[in-house]
Amino acid sequence: MGDGVVRPTEFVEALAKGMAILEALGRSAPEMTLSEVARLVRLSPAAARRSLLTLEALGYVGRRAKRFHLTPKVMTLGSSFYLAARIDEILLPDLRALVDTYGDASSIGTLDGAHVVYLAHYSVQRARRATAVAGARYPAFATSMGRVLLAALPDDAGNAYWDTFEPVALTSKTLTDRAALKQEVARVAAEGFATTVDQLDYGITALAVPIRDAEGHTIAALNSSGYTGLVTPEAMVRDRLPALRETAMHVSHQIARHPMLRAVLCAQ
């Protein structure tokens, strides 16, 4: 697909194109024309048309006039993993306990390339803010969990991330300077936690810690977030850091007891 990535000999290009289209649809606009999809996914119009028509026949894509959109059937792809990995049973109880204690919101996420993917989220917040639901993806550099996960990358993976790093200012406070971000991630690695203020969206102050496996490898991250102005990063570190670290240890033990989730996270 022209991204320079080495493919295995049995790589199915057509399947990859279809998955790329599913990921792209709705990310920039609720509906897109064939030419818009082709341009976004970097496919020829003919290749994009074949993939879209196949996805439409399978029920994952719908069409209104000349504009394509996702259908609710797409949700079955994520829900299958969610149910099989028993996210509600394994991860949500600890998030609820944190929110019961501190209010606000709590999430668990893992790294997928340059993005954090939310595995679980629980919140009592109702204000407008970046949506932190299971399956949400956000740039790792702009989130507390993302910085924790970036800090744990092996040298080769870390170098690859920074070599291709393309910062986007999501708010006027988003840190986008490469050198400053690398310094911040190094601090996170040394101190074992990350804090962010208004980096991903206005009104979000967050604290995150790593979730490690039995060998000490970081396999996910756990955060607690609150409203900027009502809580400071210093107060979160003082009041919540010990509880977050204790919860991260308990989550790690829970993951170790459930083969599917352990296999998925430990293979990251």
Question: For residue 207, what is the enclosing H or E element?
Answer: strand 204-212
Please give the Cα distance from 239 to 258 (Å, whole number).
Answer: 31
Looking at the structure, tell me whether residues 180 and 101 fall in a common domain.
yes
For residue 170, tell me if it sits in a domain.
yes
pTM of the model: 0.77
- The total of other beta-carbon atoms located within 10 Å of residue 107's CB is 28
Looking at the structure, tell me whether residues 66 and 93 fall in a common domain.
no
What CATH number is attached to the domain comprising 200? 3.30.450.40
Please give the Cα distance from 129 to 199 (Å, whole number).
Answer: 12
Looking at the structure, tell me whether residues 178 and 61 fall in a common domain.
no
At which of 49, 71, 93 does a domain end?
A: 71
Percentage of the chain lying above the pLDDT 70 cut: 88
Please give the Cα distance from 112 to 17 (Å, whole number).
Answer: 18
Looking at the structure, tell me whether residues 113 and 150 fall in a common domain.
yes
Looking at the structure, tell me whether residues 152 and 252 fall in a common domain.
yes
For residue 6, tell me if it sits in a domain.
no
Number of structural domains the chain divides into: 2
Looking at the structure, tell me whether residues 65 and 97 fall in a common domain.
no
Q: Region 105-115: what's the mean pLDDT?
A: 92
Looking at the structure, tell me whether residues 53 and 113 fall in a common domain.
no
Looking at the structure, tell me whether residues 29 and 66 fall in a common domain.
yes
For residue 41, what pLDDT is reported? 85
Looking at the structure, tell me whether residues 89 and 206 fall in a common domain.
yes
Please give the Cα distance from 156 to 237 (Å, whole number).
Answer: 30
pLDDT score of 134 more than 80? no
SS3 at position 64: strand
Please give the Cα distance from 258 to 53 (Å, whole number).
Answer: 39
Please give the Cα distance from 92 to 78 (Å, whole number).
Answer: 17
Query: What pLDDT, in 10s, does the model give residues 163-191?
Result: 999 889 999 999 999 999 999 999 999 99
Torsional class of 40: left (φ above 0), alpha (ψ -120 to 50), beta (otherwise): alpha
Looking at the structure, tell me whether residues 179 and 257 fall in a common domain.
yes
First vs last Cα of the chain: how many Å apart?
23
Question: For residue 52, what is the enclosing H or E element?
Answer: helix 45-58
Enclosing domain of residue 20: 13-71
SS3 at position 35: helix
- The total of other beta-carbon atoms located within 10 Å of residue 74's CB is 16
At which of 48, 71, 94 does a domain end?
A: 71
For residue 238, tell me if it sits in a domain.
yes
What CATH number is attached to the domain comprising 17? 1.10.10.10
Q: Region 47-52: what's the mean pLDDT?
A: 89
At which of 22, 38, 71 does a domain end?
A: 71
Looking at the structure, tell me whether residues 240 and 140 fall in a common domain.
yes
Query: What pLDDT, in 10s, does the model give residues 194-239?
Result: 999 999 999 999 999 999 998 899 999 999 999 998 999 999 999 9
In angstroms, the Cα distances linking 66 to 49, 69, 227 are: 11, 10, 42
pLDDT score of 86 more than 50? yes
Looking at the structure, tell me whether residues 166 and 40 fall in a common domain.
no
